[in-house]
């Protein structure tokens, strides 16, 4: 499913074999180290590919299928790409500030562990001029929120500004994030 977001295509879907992927991720989770900050990351440099490093072939295959579907909607035939991936963990009081993923073609997230109330992802308008117009400055479309749901995958342009609201629950939220750069 595609939702038009500020005339920017946001891909929203669900992983087909999430229970198998959840097991595969759960098996490696005890062996992965996280660094701290506003939230915990497995790779704060964003240079590694957790999919390759831990042979997460089921998740890799599923992500590839969704990337191809997103590209099909964009009338882009795809081709080879490089992927960087990591896990993000949000405990009570943690959040992700508004940011974008620079020069990457696609940014994505898969929700691994969530209760649905432990930190929504939000996107801010790619149009900076909405706020300078009296008739558009109060539109609810200045930002768009998505609730985390286990197995949900979101794909969006790497340049789209986004963040994660503060986890105000005692539940630990874990998501699998990635960047895609076509060759």
Where are any strands of DSSP class E within the chain?
2-5, 8-14, 40-41, 81-90, 96-99, 106-113, 121-124, 143-146, 152-157, 162-164, 173-182
* 183 residues of the chain, pLDDT tens digit each: 776 555 688 999 999 999 999 999 999 999 899 998 889 999 999 999 999 999 999 999 999 999 999 999 999 998 999 999 999 999 999 999 999 998 999 999 999 999 999 999 999 887 777 777 777 666 656 678 999 999 999 999 999 999 999 999 999 999 999 999 999
Q: What is the predicted pLDDT for the residue at 144?
A: 85
Q: Is the pTM of this model over 0.75?
A: yes
């Amino acid at each position: 499913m595609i939702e038009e977001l500020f005339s920017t295509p946001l891909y929203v879907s669900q992983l087909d074999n999430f229970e198998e992927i959840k097991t595969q991720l759960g098996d490696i989770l005890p062996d992965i180290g996280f660094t701290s900050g506003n939230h915990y990351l497995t790779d704060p440099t964003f240079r590694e590919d957790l999919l390759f490093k831990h042979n997460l072939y089921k998740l890799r295959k599923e992500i590839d299928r969704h990337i191809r579907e997103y590209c099909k909607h964009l009338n882009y035939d795809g081709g080879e790409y490089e992927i960087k991936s990591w896990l993000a963990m949000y405990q009570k009081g943690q959040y992700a500030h508004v940011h974008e993923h620079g020069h990457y073609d696609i940014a994505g997230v898969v929700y691994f562990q969530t209760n649905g109330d432990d930190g929504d992802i939000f996107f801010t308008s790619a149009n900076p001029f909405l706020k300078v117009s009296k008739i558009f400055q109060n539109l609810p479309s200045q930002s768009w929120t998505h609730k985390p749901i286990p197995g949900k995958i979101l794909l969006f342009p790497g340049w789209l500004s986004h963040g994660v609201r503060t986890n105000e629950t005692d539940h630990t939220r874990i998501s699998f994030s990635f960047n895609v750069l076509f060759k």
